[in-house]
């Protein structure tokens, strides 16, 4: 029992949350990985003032796949554990070279809960940097 508790604590540390955040960015346009990353009660606050659920988020992603030239990376990523919850904040830079669009940058806050020994995203919010 102690070994299981230690395993669960190790899985739900700040490096584990940072790994899930990296996985999310790598697969943000792929519905199947998002099923695992997003919690059942996930809620995404959009710039329009709308709030969408996990099902709505994944449905949107499925209908709007990324162009093959789309690339995104973290310019900054900070993860803090606050009372058993991981709060990830940072800046993402993205470029769609296939469409020759300019770089897009967003500042974000994602919140993760440790469930069944792994981090799952329960909330997300991004704001474009102008």
CATH number at residue 20: 3.10.450.50
State the Cα–Cα distance between residues 40 and 43, nearest whole angstrom: 9
Count each helix (H run) and each strand (E run) in the chain, helices first: 4, 6
Q: Is the pLDDT of residue 8 over 50?
A: no
Q: What pLDDT, on the 0 to 100 scale, is given for residue 95?
A: 87
Question: Is the Cβ–Cβ distance between 70 and 80 less than 8 Å?
Answer: no
Domain housing 61 = 2-128
Q: What pLDDT, on the 0 to 100 scale, is given for residue 107?
A: 96
Of 67-71, 100-104, 112-116, which one has max mean pLDDT?
112-116
More confident residue, 101 or 86: 86
Q: How many domains does the chain have?
A: 1
- pLDDT one-digit tens code per residue, 14-32: 889 999 999 999 999 999 9
pTM for this one? 0.86
């Amino acid at each position: 029992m102690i070994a299981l508790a230690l395993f669960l604590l190790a899985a739900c540390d700040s490096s584990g949350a940072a790994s899930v955040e990296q996985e999310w960015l790598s697969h943000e346009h792929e519905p199947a990985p998002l099923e695992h990353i997003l919690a059942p009660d996930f809620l995404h606050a959009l710039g329009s003032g709308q709030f969408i659920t996990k099902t709505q988020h994944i449905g949107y992603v499925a209908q709007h796949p990324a162009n093959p030239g789309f690339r995104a990376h973290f310019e900054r990523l900070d993860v803090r554990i606050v009372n058993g919850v991981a709060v990830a904040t940072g800046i993402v830079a993205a470029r769609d070279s296939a469409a020759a669009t300019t770089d897009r940058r967003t500042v974000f806050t994602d919140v993760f809960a440790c469930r069944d020994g792994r981090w799952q995203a329960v909330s997300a919010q991004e704001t474009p940097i102008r």
